[in-house]
Amino acid sequence: TEGLGHRFFAALKIRALQNYCLFNGTMTLIHAASLPFWVVAFTERGMPILYFVWMISIRSLGHVATLYFWGRLVQSHGSRSAISIALGGMFSLAPFWQILPADSTSLVFAAGIFYFLWGAFEAGMQSGQTPVMMESVATAYRAEGFTVSMYAMAVGGGIGGLAGGLIFERLNEMPTDTLSWEPELLYLTVAHLSSVLLWLLSRNLKGVREQLSAREFLRRRLLERRRPT
């Protein structure tokens, strides 16, 4: 009996869904504005384009190899710790762009480690996001809620891809011989550091404030390791 437009607006009025869409859309924006330019950064430093076929596989390997850990973590302690650890890992990868090796062999080896770690952190983000999305969408508006979430990703990805492309192109046109730093690498570093913004937005996701924090989870794990057997 309700019109489609009315159901969409009713779903959008749900605060938990608004917070999730803001978080998910912002994450997609940041990733769309930076991830496609990894290829440019690596190839400009001598990595053959064919190697990126391997890098995609290594990224998937990192994803698959850590899924069990992330799944157990979310099942035992909720989404908060998984999302926070994954975002912290993405943040910690920021200095990588400032220490890229010049040797081609070392560059390929470093890129492999980077892609594996990124795949592992992506798995943590997806494992943590899934239950949050399920809890944020009201049962009465499930179809509309999931659709709104997809729209948020599409809008964020579109804006991020367009803005990132324009910024990266302008930076690429800057005369690097007059600069002591490389604009493209600084841009990628800042993109990783923006994970702080995502962490702040994740604090408003439904149910996370009542869940175990990443700091408390790591503290408990350290105590368990120190405990004599």
Task: Report the distance separating Cα 132 and Cα 9, nearest Å.
Answer: 20
pTM over 0.85? The answer is: yes
Residue 146: what pLDDT? Answer: 87
Q: How far apart are CA 56 and CA 111, in angstroms?
A: 11
**Residue 67, pLDDT score:** 94
pLDDT at position 180 is 63
Cα–Cα distance between 51 and 107 in angstroms, integer? 11
pLDDT in tens, 4-15: 778 888 888 889
3-state secondary structure of 213: coil
Bigger pLDDT: 135 vs 228: 135
Residue 91 CA to residue 214 CA, distance in Å, equals 15
- Asked if the model's pLDDT at residue 77 lies above 90, the reply is no
* The residue to which tokens 């400009």 are assigned: 44
pLDDT at 1 over 70: no
* Closest by CA position to 14, among listed 142, 153, 198, 202: 142
Amino acid symbol at 11: A
If one compares 226 and 197, the residue with the highest pLDDT of the two is: 197
pLDDT of residue 227: 67
Give the chain's mean pLDDT.
87
Q: How confident is residue 194, by pLDDT bands cut at 50, 70 and 90?
A: very high
Phi, psi of 194 (to 5 degrees): -70, -5
Cβ within 8 Å of residue 123, ≥6 positions away = 62, 63, 64, 66, 67, 70, 86
Share of the chain above pLDDT 70, in %: 95
The pLDDT of residue 32 is 94
Given a cut of 70, whether residue 190 has pLDDT beyond it is: yes
* CA atoms within a 13 Å half-sphere pointing along the CA-CB vector of 112: 8
The pLDDT value recorded for residue 126 is 93
More confident residue, 91 or 5: 91
C-alpha to C-alpha distance for 60 and 52, rounded to whole angstroms: 12
pLDDT bin (cut points 50, 70, 90) of residue 178 is low
Q: Which residue has the higher pLDDT, 155 or 41?
A: 155
Which of residues 50 and 162 earns the better pLDDT score? 162
Residue 226 has pLDDT above 80, yes or no: no
**18 close to 162: Cβ distance less than 8 angstroms:** no
**Is the pLDDT score of 72 beyond 70?**
yes
Assess contact for 167 and 72: CB atoms under 8 A: no
Signed CA dihedral, 16, 154, 200, 65: sign only: positive
